[in-house]
Amino acid sequence: MGKTVLVTGAGSGFGRGVSVALAERGHNVIATTETEEQASELAAAHPDLNVEKIDITTDDVEKVTQWDIDVLINNAGTGQTGPMADVPMERVRANFEVNVFGTLAITQQVLAGMIPRGSGRVIIMSSIGGLESFPTFGPYCMTKHALEGMGKAMRVELESQGIDVTMINPGPHDTGFNSVVAETMWEWFGEDSLQAPNMDMFTMMRGVATTDQMDPVAVVDKLVQLVEAETTQQNNVVPEDGIAELNEATGLGEEQIQR
């Protein structure tokens, strides 16, 4: 029997992919997008989806109380790159507003229905950057580390109430997200920045993030597995050796791997 699955950030990337895949497998998918324009486009392209506009940084999150949600996939997110010594604070705050505070806000609304029922699953889109951190990607990794802290606490707190919480940790997959995020620092970083002497390293990291990205189908498939699984593990790295591969690509070395 199909489950009712709410997916945030379904306008593109992993969110769109898993929404379509789950609907094809007979699940009732509520695919949510940040804007009305995204919602209209998604609904027209995939009429088998229930599409709603939910900006997780607003009171839109209260809409979820109208549905009995079996699985929440917290996929909505944004990103910012740049050296920590220079990154504008307003950009860091904006990243936390979406990735952390917005994710917690909608999760709390969904849990208000799951907990009395005594069942449900919350899947959090973390990242390899939630288990490790890399030069240039510190602002983004900060938010994913925060999600790891949130998810790991919730996994223990909610287990006795029948709620399962799990994190998925993708590496660089070709959804377009990494390419966009890799460019955000160049909107404000320049020769007058404190970290300007390390310009070559930041340019190299931009190349690492945007070259030889993997097929996002692997992450979509894993999300489908997590929705349908009887039980889950705490973290699900995709690919399984993704941290080692990134450390090798960046030249950071095995000593940087901390799990």
Whichever domain contains 92, its CATH number is: 3.40.50.720
Number of domains observed in the structure of the chain: 1
Q: Exposed (0-12), middle (13-18) or buried (19+): which is 84, by Cβ within 10 Å?
A: middle
* CA–CA–CA angle 110, 112, 118 (5° rounding): 95
Q: Which domain holds residue 107?
A: 4-247
In a domain, residue 102? The reply is yes
Active-site residue 2, yes or no? no
pLDDT at 238 exceeding the cut of 80: yes
Q: Are 210 and 182 in contact (CB under 8 A)?
A: yes
Distance CA 153, CA 165 (A): 9
Over residues 75-90, mean pLDDT? 98
pLDDT at 244 exceeding the cut of 90: no
Distance CA 206, CA 208 (A): 6
pLDDT at 255 exceeding the cut of 60: no
Across-strand partners of 73?
A: 7, 123
Q: What pLDDT does residue 257 have?
A: 38
List Cβ neighbours of 211 (8 Å cut-off, separation of 6 or more): none
Residue tagged active-site, from 14, 137, 140, 202: 140
Query: In percent, how much of the chain has pLDDT > 70?
Result: 93
Distance CA 11, CA 33 (A): 5
In a domain, residue 256? The reply is no
The CA dihedral of 110, 111, 113, 114, to the nearest 10 degrees, is 120
In a domain, residue 258? The reply is no
pLDDT tens for each residue of 172-196: 999 999 999 999 999 999 999 999 9
What is the torsional sign of CA 1, 70, 64, 35?
A: negative
In a domain, residue 192? The reply is yes
pLDDT tens for each residue of 124-175: 999 999 999 999 999 999 999 999 999 999 999 999 999 999 999 999 999 9
User: What single DSSP character describes residue 230?
Assistant: S
In a domain, residue 40? The reply is yes
Q: What pLDDT does residue 243 have?
A: 64
Residue 60 in tokens: 């839109």
pLDDT at 256 exceeding the cut of 80: no
Residue 180 in tokens: 């966009």
Over residues 226-245, mean pLDDT? 88
Residue 101 in tokens: 């505070």
In a domain, residue 254? The reply is no
Length of the chain: 259
Distance CA 166, CA 231 (A): 10
- How many other C-beta atoms are found inside a 10 Å radius of the C-beta of residue 231? 7
Query: In percent, how much of the chain has pLDDT > 90?
Result: 90
Q: Are 49 and 103 in contact (CB under 8 A)?
A: no
Is the pTM of the predicted complex or chain greater than 0.85? yes
From first CA to last CA, the distance across the chain in angstroms is 36
pLDDT tens for each residue of 25-55: 999 999 999 999 999 999 999 999 999 999 9
Q: Are 42 and 90 in contact (CB under 8 A)?
A: no
Distance CA 95, CA 192 (A): 24
Distance CA 135, CA 179 (A): 16
In a domain, residue 59? The reply is yes
Q: What pLDDT does residue 259 have?
A: 33
Distance CA 91, CA 94 (A): 5
In a domain, residue 85? The reply is yes
Distance CA 152, CA 257 (A): 19
